Amino acid sequence: MTEILHTPLFGITLTLLAYRLAEILYRKTGFILFNPVALSIVAIIILLKICDIPYNDYARGGDIILFLLGPSVVALALPLYQRRKEILNRKLPILLGIFAGAMTSIITAAGTAWLLGGSHKVVLSLVPKSVTTPIAIGIVEKIGGIAPLTAALVVLTGCLGAICGPEFCRLIGIRTPAALGLAVGTASHGIGTARVLGENRFAGAVSGLAIGLNGLATSIIVPLLWLLFA
């Protein structure tokens, strides 16, 4: 019986089932805390803990689903291509918005953690938290933070943006698809983009662009700041 847990079938079925149920619940209730990604992550973690199933058993199937993230990021080229004229029309606002966001992310994440008494390594681990995972890991390894902690914080940041990013933006007067997509994509990379894509195609295109460009901006800014202060 327990052999099934050692096959990819377990992780794949559990992930799809949890996500589908969460999606239905979210649609029925419209309650923002029932965000499908966040809710299914929490549900799966609780189930694994209660049943005492090791993470590695889950990951055999989970990794296969995670693999599809790669071609999905490549696929973001399609909305970018379809909306290229509207994006080129606002290239300066987009580039400067991302640059301002990248600077804000580095300074506020590290600054807040430092003010609250975070240890040196923890403060450094927060620096690339708004950047897509592979780039964030590359950055944190260069500056000497804790790579697994950064990986976890990148996911938490993404979930936060997916749960309430669009709501927060509208609350503070960020309502156009261009500004909202850029804000959510710059702050919470692919997970935020996935949420925005479901609401507005153009906002999703801009958000997808922000994943790559914020990654680029942060990986250039961090070493420069490092030279200045270290």
Near another protein by CB under 8 A: residue from 10, 105, 124, 140: 105
Judged by beta carbon, residue 29 or residue 104, the one nearer another protein is: 104
Near another protein by CB under 8 A: residue from 153, 221, 225, 230: 153
CA distance 102 to 88: 20
**Least Å from the CB of residue 176 to another protein:** 6
Near another protein by CB under 8 A: residue from 97, 140, 145, 221: 97
Q: Is 138 in the site for another protein (CB under 8 A)?
A: yes
Are the beta carbons of 164 and 188 closer than 8 angstroms?
no
Near another protein by CB under 8 A: residue from 124, 140, 155, 217: 155
**Least Å from the CB of residue 27 to another protein:** 13
CB neighbours of residue 40 within 10 Å: 22
Residues in 170-209 at the binding interface with another protein, rule: CB under 8 A: 172-174, 176-180, 182-184, 186-188, 190-191, 193-195, 197-198, 200-202, 204, 208
HEC profile for the chain? CHHHHHCHHHHHHHHHHHHHHHHHHHHHHCCHHHCHHHHHHHHHHHHHHHCCCCHHHHHHHHHHHHHCHHHHHHHCHHHHHHCHHHHHHCHHHHHHHHHHHHHHHHHHHHHHHHHCCCCHHHHHHHCCCCCCHHHHHHHHHHHCCCHHHHHHHHHHHHHHHHHHHHHHHHHCCCCCHHHHHHHHHHHHHHHHHHHHHHHCHHHHHHHHHHHHHHHHHHHHHHHHHHHHHC
Judged by beta carbon, residue 4 or residue 66, the one nearer another protein is: 66
Q: Is 116 in the site for another protein (CB under 8 A)?
A: yes
**Least Å from the CB of residue 128 to another protein:** 11
CA distance 47 to 34: 17
How many amino acids of this chain bind another protein (CB under 8 A)?
A: 121
Near another protein by CB under 8 A: residue from 94, 124, 140, 217: 94
CA dihedral 14, 18, 21, 22 (to 10 degrees): -170
**Least Å from the CB of residue 185 to another protein:** 8
Near another protein by CB under 8 A: residue from 8, 118, 225, 226: 118
Residues in 31-90 at the binding interface with another protein, rule: CB under 8 A: 36-38, 40-41, 44-45, 48-49, 55, 58-59, 62-63, 65-66, 68-84, 86, 89-90
Near another protein by CB under 8 A: residue from 24, 112, 120, 144: 112
